[in-house]
Amino acid sequence: GQQVMQIPQYQHVQEGEDFTTYCNSSTTLSNIQWYKQRPGGHPVFLIQLVKSGEVKKQKRLTFQFGEAKKNSSLHITATQTTDVGTYFCAGPFDNQGGKLIFGQGTELSVKP
Amino acid sequence: DGGITQSPKYLFRKEGQNVTLSCEQNLNHDAMYWYRQDPGQGLRLIYYSQIVNDFQKGDIAEGYSVSREKKESFPLTVTSAQKNPTAFYLCASSIAWQGDQPQHFGDGTRLSIL
């Protein structure tokens, strides 16, 4: 069945270092969404990518959607302690409307 | 402010007991969802509702039940048939039942067994 795999599962960085999480789908996705969940909190929608090869930026965060629309990445430049949390990617099931497949998430910890 | 309200924040269940988790949204969204999150895991879909008076089983529906009698409300009942209910439960909604719609989440309910 359709799967969305995310790596790494955990990443520990020193404040100021960069961070990247990767998301790979077993099938082509019509779009990919990214969410952030702070410790003890709930997932919050960050961004959606739709086009092949699309790149979007939000301040220090850069999101990419692969040319084949099967992979995506989130890169954070110069991490800050406020970046701590788990980052999830999610993509829709084929022909199943609003059902999203979520990756397992990458938990980011930042040491000050 | 518009949003999704889940209650209670913490819930304890005794053996053989059914418990109901509340989810209310004032975003005027058609679609609503219930997810289960276990430590270090992603989100697994329990039930979803495309529109009022409709709901469908997700990937892990056994031991759970829902209703959608009002557009703004989508309560989840964890029945005694669910043998491992300890988890973080998240309710979400989206404008429509479409895969390109972002989902908005409530603050969640943490359920534990006494």
Nearest chain A residue to B50 by CA distance is: A98
Structure confidence by residue, pLDDT tens digits, A83-103? 999 999 999 977 777 889 999
Flag whether pLDDT at B83 surpasses 90: no
Q: Which of A36, A31, A77 is nearest to A54 (CA)?
A: A31
Compare B54 and B114 and report the one with higher pLDDT.
Answer: B54
Distance from CA of A27 to the nearest CA of B (A): 15
Give the pLDDT confidence score for residue B69 in this predicted structure. 98
Tell me whether B100 touches chain A (CB under 8 Å): yes
Contacts of A15 (CB under 8 A, 6+ apart): A79, A80, A81, A110, A111, A112
Q: Which of B27, B2, B15 is nearest to B83 (CA)?
A: B15
User: In chain B, helix, strand, coil percent, each to 5?
Assistant: 0, 45, 55
Give me the residue from B40, B99, B106 closest to A42, CB to CB: B106
Tell me whether B75 touches chain A (CB under 8 Å): no
Give me the residue from A44, A93, A102 closest to B43, CB to CB: A102
Most confident stretch, A98-102, B7-11, B110-114: B7-11
Q: How confident is the model at residue B59 (pLDDT cuts 50, 70, 90)?
A: very high
Are the Cβ atoms of A45 and B50 closer than 8 angstroms? Answer: no
Give me the residue from A45, A91, A103 closest to B42, CB to CB: A103
Tell me whether B40 touches chain A (CB under 8 Å): yes
Give the pLDDT confidence score for residue A78 in this predicted structure. 98
